[in-house]
Structure 1
């Protein structure tokens, strides 16, 4: 049996979520924009319920939840959607980190090509960005600060609370890419200084193709976002188009379950982590990232003397792991995250990301170690 250890790329859909999604695909398949019949009203209620379920996870108002196709789209709306406000107010400075997901870095590159000034703050060797370094970059013309909650490659958790505190008296908008933290790090995503937050369904056992952007008000004022596409006016005009009601309903239920089962899931992942570390111990793995400040279901390691591609080939049919972000898996460029951490070239080349969930099966680590040792003998 092959064991899937790439949950940071995507999770399986929870069976309870599958049942709900299928119901809205096959039985109650109305359009949430239809107001003249019961099928449409049923769809509207499903969307409203999901909006409430997501809002409760992050402690925001229901109308501050904007459904999207996922975190990538949410990141783009948050970053590119603020650009007109920056131009209007002559605030064209942005602060982010050099370990952000490409869905943040590439929109920032576009703004830089349009005259915005982007400061990227590097992490230390543990993968953690010093919040004081972020705050130290703030200027009167800073429009936006964008910092991920937890890194998708290393699992390292960033000091969002400290950044929120440091920005308390600054008008810049704070955006947090919470794709890996939503439904997992509950207190972190509930800080009210976070203006904009991107979330993804398929990281929490919901279907692919759905996520949300949280647009938290300051008093009565919403973040001044300009939509990237127009037509239809859905989602307060920020994300027009017919809502995928089955996917939205699935995200809502998955979000609710993530809160209800948060403690049990975390403990299961911590236990599994101890098994992974014990299983890999004979290979003397080098761990990337601060172990005590990492998501309990992620481990980024290098196995001395081995290239990650060779290890993945050796584990084929036994373990499914990755050597970086799924969004850049077609590229053989070194991980920008590990490069930013200043790790040696051989460790970067040998880096493997193992990520699991509370549902992951046990691994035959004796066989896994044996296969890797065979590589060392050749």
Structure 2
């Protein structure tokens, strides 16, 4: 049986989460907006419980949580939702990096097409943002800084605390795409200088199709976002539409479980990672990115093409050679390209990612298979 090592793409739903979601679908299926009967009130209570469970991951208040379909939608609201305010106050400058997920880069491109300006923080082979670079790019008219926490391809953990310190004396809004860290490596997300946090349920053992945007208040004021969808006024008018109460309840429970077990899960993941590295070292593996998450390893074997490697590993492990959201395009990784790696290293890059549910990685068998390509 093939071992699934593509957890950065999506994770399996925890059994207790699946049980809750099924119960909500079949027994407590009311509309959370229907307040005239017990079915609706029960769904409403489940949603509000989940709102607190999600908020607790980042030390936020439950009133600061807006439920969405996932981090992509959350990113779009955080970025495009500032357009009207930016135009009103003549602040049309955005700072981001070239290693962001396309769900950040493409909404920003939409604003650029409408007269906004973007500055990109460059990264080197480490894949890490230098806080000094952020400082040098800040301007009086900077409206938004959007920098991801953990990179989906390399697992590089960005220095959020240092970036927050740079922004302490500036009023630009700070948005963090935390899809890969939410509930797993969440401590730095508690920083009060982070204004907006995007998260996806399917990265933290909850169902697909549910996520959140945490919109942290400064004093008593939240970022001046405007909706990008209209109709119904749910979620403080920012995300209209009937709330997916079963998915929301499952997301909340998954967050609660993840927070409780975070330290144990990280220790287990790091053990698996160290064992994999120890065996890959024997065939001269190059590791792409520094200060990386315990849950992922991006590596290249000199002389081995990633497509050939995945064919060779078929039936043993399921790994990736890029972001699941753009893998069908067969273009070189924009993340590894931005890190200025050479073309052969990029063409050979593989991403293996796992979870606390991964008991064992067959690293010796992986090495044996890849050795046949050398």
1:375 is paired with a residue whose SS is coil
CA distance in 2, matches of 1:116, 1:89: 13
- The separation in 2 between residues aligned to 1:275 and 1:256, in whole angstroms, is 29
Match of 2:325 among 324, 327, 330: 327
Residue in structure 2 matched with residue 375 of structure 1 by the alignment:
373
Q: Is the 8 A contact 2:272 2:361 kept in 1?
A: no
Deviation at 1:372, TM superposition (A): 1.9
CA drift of 1:282 comes to: 2.5
Q: Are residue 305 (structure 1) and residue 303 (structure 2) matched? A: yes
**Paired position in structure 2 for 1:74:** 74
- Structure 2 equivalent of residue 236 of structure 1: 236
> 1:373: how far off?
2.3
Which residue number in structure 2 is paired with residue 60 of structure 1? 60
- C-alpha distance in 2 between matches for 1:17 and 1:125: 39
Q: What is residue 9 of structure 2 aligned with on the other side?
A: 9
- Measure how far apart 1:279 and its partner are: 2.9
Tell me how far 1:284 sits from its aligned partner: 1.4
Secondary structure, aligned partner of 1:180: coil
With normalisation by structure 1, the TM-score equals 0.97
State the match for 1:40 in structure 2: 40
Residue 194 of structure 1 pairs with residue 189 of structure 2: no
Structure 1: which 4+ aligned runs deviate by more than 4 Å? none
Q: CA deviation at 1:281?
A: 2.7
Q: Which residue of 2 aligns with 1:345?
A: 343
On the 8 A contact 1:157/1:294 being kept in 2, the answer is yes
Superposition pairs of residues 233-312 of structure 1, within 5 angstroms: 233-290=233-290, 293-312=291-310
Given that residues 46 and 245 in structure 1 are in contact (C-alpha distance below 8 angstroms), is that contact kept between their aligned partners in structure 2?
Answer: yes
State the match for 2:150 in structure 1: 150
**Equivalent residue of 1:144, what SS?**
strand
Is 1:215 equivalent to 2:207 in the alignment?
Answer: no
* Contact preservation (8 Å) 1:3, 1:362: no
How far off is 1:371 after superposition?
2.2
Contact 1:3 1:361 in 2 (8 A): no
1:292-313 CA-to-partner distances (Å, cap 9, x unmatched) read x111011000011010000001
Query: Helix, strand or coil for the counterpart of 1:96?
Result: strand
Aligned residue pairs, count:
374
1:358 corresponds to? 356
User: Unmatched 5+ residue regions in structure 2?
Assistant: none
Deviations 1:133-180 (A, max 9, x none): 012111110000000001000000111111111111111100000001
For the 8 Å contact 1:53–1:252, the answer to whether it is kept is yes
Rounded Cα–Cα distance in structure 1 between residues aligned with 2:353 and 2:105: 23
Kept in 2, the 8 Å contact 1:71–1:200? The answer is yes
Structure 2 match to 1:124: 124
* SS of residue in 2 equivalent to 1:155: coil
| Offset at residue 277 of structure 1 (A) | 1.2
Cα shift readout 1:118-143 (whole Å, capped 9, x = no counterpart): 00111121000101101211111000
CA distance in structure 2 between the partners assigned to 1:14 and 1:308 by the alignment: 31
**Contact 1:195-1:223 at 8 Å conserved across structures:** yes
Task: State the distance in 1 between where 2:337 and 2:93 align.
Answer: 25
Contact 2:234 2:241 in 1 (8 A): yes
Q: TM-score, normalised by structure 2?
A: 0.98
1:367 Cα deviation from its structure 2 partner = 2.9
> Residue by residue, what CA displacement relative to the aligned partner does 1:254-300 show, whole Å, maximum 9, x if unpaired?
0001110011100110111112112323321100111xx11101100
Distance 2:325 2:156 in 1: 18
Other structure's SS at 1:326 match: coil
- Partner residue, 2:27: 27
